[in-house]
Amino acid sequence: MDACLFCKIISGEIPSHKVYEDEKVFAFLDINPVNKGHVLVVPKNHSTDLVECSDEDLCSCMSAAKKIGSKQLEALGAKGFNTLINTRPASGQIIYHTHIHVIPRFEGDGFKHWHGKSYSNDEERVILEKLRF
């Protein structure tokens, strides 16, 4: 993908601060981090998003994310970490190459997730039926 920002980073065409690399995965510091040490883990094979990503590439990325998160705990003194994948624009995806955010978390860092919503009446059962395999 000639126009893909992350493909250009993987190829070295655009500089990055590489944290980890193996035969399937490239990981680098996010240039606009939620917290310092926020890393993006990307498969070397281009895929637009999680739905398009091969299971093999996804497994390799998750394995790398686990290593990186563990390193964040140890080396940065993080108290936890989040792994986050945005899929498609409605979720906040803005770079169309599959990637996993590995975000180190610290007490009181201010990063908020989501607020809970309640199901109304029979809505939970209806949605469950739609999603069940």
The 10 Å Cβ neighbour count of residue 29 is 14
Could you tell me if 11 and 18 are in contact, meaning their C-beta atoms sit under 8 angstroms apart? no
23 burial (CB, 10 Å; 0-12 / 13-18 / 19+) is exposed
Q: How far apart are CA 102 and CA 106, in angstroms?
A: 13
Active-site entry in 38, 97, 99, 101: 99
- For the question of residue 99 being annotated catalytic, the response is yes
Task: Out of 3.40.50.9100, 3.30.428.10, 3.30.9.10, 3.40.50.880, select the CATH number for domain 5-131.
Answer: 3.30.428.10
pLDDT tens track, the chain, 133 positions = 568 999 999 999 999 999 999 999 999 999 999 999 999 999 999 999 999 999 999 999 999 999 999 999 999 999 999 999 999 999 999 999 999 999 999 999 999 888 889 999 899 999 999 999 9
CA distance 31 to 75: 19
